C-alpha cells in the first residue's frame, strides 16, 4: 500500500496521481496503477500492533527532529526491496539536503547502472535522466517512447515543506519505489504515514559498522506496516532501516545509510541545474490523451484475482466491467 490514505477511505492511487479509465464498446474499465504490483489482499494485521513505549517513541521523534533542525544533511544509501523472496529492485542513491529548500538525489540501479537525478533549487524541482528516461506504462506507446526517451526532463513547483522527494523517487528509473524515510522530512514535510503511527517499542542496542545504535520498531496502521530502525546514538539518525508491509504476502524494503554528514557547508551550485542545449521538457501524457475512443475494443489482458486465479478481460465480453486496482497507506 502506498502512503497517503486511511483504509476506510481507499480510493485509486495511480502512478503520477492519476486514474486511467477506459470506456469502450459495452465495457467500462477503470484502473489505478501504482509502483508496486497489484496485491491480492489488503487485510491489516492488528495483532502486530503493540503498546507504545515512551522512551522508544522519544528516540523516534528525536530522529525526525534532528533532520528538521539540521542546516544540511547528506548520506548514501543502498536500497533493496523484495516480495516472496524475489527482488523487485536494488539501487544505490546519494542525497544532499540544505536549508531552506535545496535538495539533490542521484540514484542508479545496481544491475543496469541506469537511473536519474532529482534537483531542487529552492523553488523548482527538476528530474532528468543522463542515460535516457525509463519507460512508463501505460503512458508510453512504442512511438512516444522512441521520440522522447532521451534528452528530456520533468519539472514541477517545489514549495518549502510542500514537496516529497520520496514520491518522486520511483520516477528516477533506478529500481526503487520510495525511500523508507522521506528525505523531504528535512524540509518540514510530514509523511502521511505519521498520523497512523500506533506506537514505538525498543529492541535494545546493536552495533552497525562500528556505531552503537538504538534499535526501535514502529507500528503503523495497526501493524499493516512496520519500520525497524537502527538509530545511531552519535547523531540520532538511522544507519539501517527495514520496512515490512503485511498484505497477502510481505513486501520487505531494506536500506543501509553510510557517510552520514550533518551541517556541512554545501555550496548552492550543488543544487543548480539548467537543461542542456537541445533538451526538451517532457510530461507524462494526461489520461484523456490515452483513452480509447467510444466504440473501440479494449485490448485483452490478464490479471490475478484476490483468490489468486487468472482473470482475462475477454471472459467478460459484452458485460460491464469495473476493474479497480488500488493501494493505500
pLDDT digits (tens, 9 = 90+) for 205-216: 999 999 999 999
If asked whether residues 72 and 140 sit together in one domain, one would say yes
Which parts of 184-249 fold into alpha helices (H)? none
Confidence check: pLDDT of 26 > 50: no
Q: Give residue 144's pLDDT.
A: 85
- The SS3 call for residue 4 is coil
For residues 248-270, give the mean pLDDT.
Answer: 96
Average pLDDT over residues 183-187: 97
Range of the domain at 300: 7-42+287-316
Mean pLDDT over residues 41-52, rounded?
55
Confidence of residue 327 (pLDDT cuts 50, 70, 90): low
Q: Cα–Cα distance between 183 and 196 in angstroms, integer?
A: 19
User: Rounded to 5 degrees, what are φ and ψ at 119?
Assistant: -130, 135
Residues 203 and 269 in one domain: yes
Average pLDDT over residues 9-15: 31
* Torsion angle defined by CA atoms of residues 158, 13, 190 and 201, in that order, rounded to the nearest 10 degrees: -150
105 and 208 share one domain:
yes
Q: With 50 as the cut, is the pLDDT of residue 235 above it?
A: yes
User: Confidence band (pLDDT; 50, 70, 90) for 8?
Assistant: very low
Comparing 256 with 1, the larger pLDDT belongs to: 256
Question: Both 205 and 312 in a single domain?
Answer: no
**H-helix or E-strand containing 141?**
none
Q: Count of alpha carbons within 13 Å of 243, Cβ hemisphere only?
A: 24
Indicate whether 260 pLDDT > 90. Answer: yes
Higher-confidence residue: 109 or 293?
109
Residues 223 and 305 occupy one common structural domain? no
Alpha-carbon 119 to chain mean position: 17
Q: Is the predicted pLDDT of residue 306 greater than 90, yes or no?
A: no
pLDDT of residue 38: 36
Task: Answer yes or no: is 293 within a domain.
Answer: yes
Question: Do 230 and 152 share a domain, yes or no?
Answer: yes
- In this prediction, what percent of the chain has a pLDDT beyond 70? 82
Q: Is residue 2 part of a domain?
A: no
Quick one: pLDDT at residue 37? 38
**Residue 9 pLDDT > 60:** no
pLDDT tens digits along 192-207: 899 999 999 999 999 9
β-bridge mates for residue 211, sequence order? 208
Question: What CATH number is given to the structural domain containing 138?
Answer: 2.50.20.10
How do strand 238-245 and strand 211-220 relate by DSSP bridges? unpaired
Total number of domains constituting the chain:
2
Average pLDDT of 273-283? 95
In a shared domain, residues 213 and 225: yes
Mean pLDDT of 307-325: 84
d(CA 19, CA 33): 7
217 and 108 in a single domain? The answer is: yes
In the chain, alpha helices (H): 54-69, 142-148, 165-168, 287-290
Confidence category of residue 294, pLDDT binned at 50, 70, 90 = confident
The verdict on residue 67 lying in a domain is yes
| Domain assignment of residue 68, yes or no | yes
Say how many residues make up the chain.
329
Whether pLDDT at 6 is above 90: no
Measured from the Cβ of residue 6, the count of other Cβ atoms closer than 10 Å reads: 12
Q: What is the DSSP letter of 174?
A: S
Q: Does 217 lie in the same domain as 267?
A: yes
- Is position 136 within any domain? yes
- Asked if residue 324 is part of any domain, the answer here is no
- Do residues 188 and 310 share a domain? no
219 and 194 inside one domain: yes
Which has the minimum average pLDDT: 7-16, 64-73, 94-103, 248-257? 7-16
Would the CA dihedral through 295, 301, 302, 303 be positive or negative? Answer: negative
pLDDT at 49: 62
Mean pLDDT of the chain: 84
Checking if the pLDDT of 57 tops 50, the result is yes
| Statement to judge: residues 38 and 181 lie in one domain | no
Say if residue 27's pLDDT is above 60: no
Residue 326 pLDDT > 90, yes or no?
A: no
Amino acid at each position: 500500500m502506498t502512503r497517503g490514505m486511511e483504509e476506510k477511505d481507499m480510493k485509486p492511487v495511480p502512478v503520477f496521481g492519476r486514474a486511467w479509465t477506459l470506456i469502450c464498446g459495452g465495457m467500462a474499465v477503470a484502473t489505478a496503477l501504482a509502483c508496486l504490483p497489484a496485491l491480492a489482499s489488503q487485510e491489516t494485521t492488528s495483532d502486530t500492533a503493540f503498546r507504545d513505549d515512551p522512551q522508544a517513541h522519544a528516540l523516534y521523534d528525536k530522529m525526525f527532529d534532528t533532520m528538521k533542525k539540521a542546516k544540511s544533511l547528506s548520506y548514501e544509501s543502498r536500497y533493496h526491496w523484495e516480495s516472496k523472496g524475489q527482488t523487485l529492485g536494488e539501487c544505490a542513491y546519494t542525497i544532499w539536503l540544505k536549508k531552506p529548500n535545496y535538495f539533490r538525489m542521484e540514484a542508479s540501479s545496481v544491475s543496469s547502472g541506469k537511473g536519474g537525478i532529482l534537483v531542487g533549487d529552492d523553488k523548482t524541482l527538476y528530474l532528468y535522466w543522463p542515460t535516457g528516461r525509463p519507460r512508463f506504462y501505460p503512458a508510453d506507446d512504442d512511438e512516444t517512447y522512441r521520440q522522447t526517451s532521451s534528452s528530456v526532463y520533468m519539472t514541477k513547483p517545489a514549495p518549502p515543506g510542500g514537496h516529497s522527494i520520496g514520491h518522486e523517487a520511483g520516477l528516477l528509473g533506478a529500481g526503487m519505489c520510495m525511500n523508507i524515510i522521506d528525505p523531504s522530512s528535512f524540509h518540514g514535510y510530514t509523511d502521511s504515514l505519521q498520523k497512523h503511527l500506533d506506537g514505538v517499542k525498543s529492541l535494545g542496542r546493536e552495533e552497525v559498522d562500528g556505531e552503537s545504535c538504538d534499535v526501535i520498531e514502529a507500528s503503523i496502521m495497526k501493524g499493516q506496516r512496520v519500520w525497524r530502525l537502527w538509530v545511531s546514538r552519535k547523531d540520532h539518525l538511522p544507519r539501517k532501516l527495514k520496512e515490512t508491509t503485511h498484505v497477502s504476502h510481505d513486501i520487505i524494503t531494506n536500506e543501509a545509510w553510510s557517510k552520514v554528514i550533518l551541517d556541512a557547508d554545501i555550496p548552492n551550485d550543488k543544487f543548480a541545474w539548467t537543461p542542456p542545449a537541445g533538451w526538451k521538457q517532457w510530461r507524462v501524457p494526461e489520461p484523456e490523451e490515452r483513452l480509447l475512443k467510444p466504440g473501440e475494443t479494449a485490448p485483452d489482458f490478464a490479471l490475478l484475482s484476490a483468490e489468486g486465479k487468472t482473470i482475462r478481460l475477454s471472459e467478460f465480453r459484452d458485460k460491464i466491467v469495473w476493474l479497480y486496482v488500488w493501494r493505500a497507506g
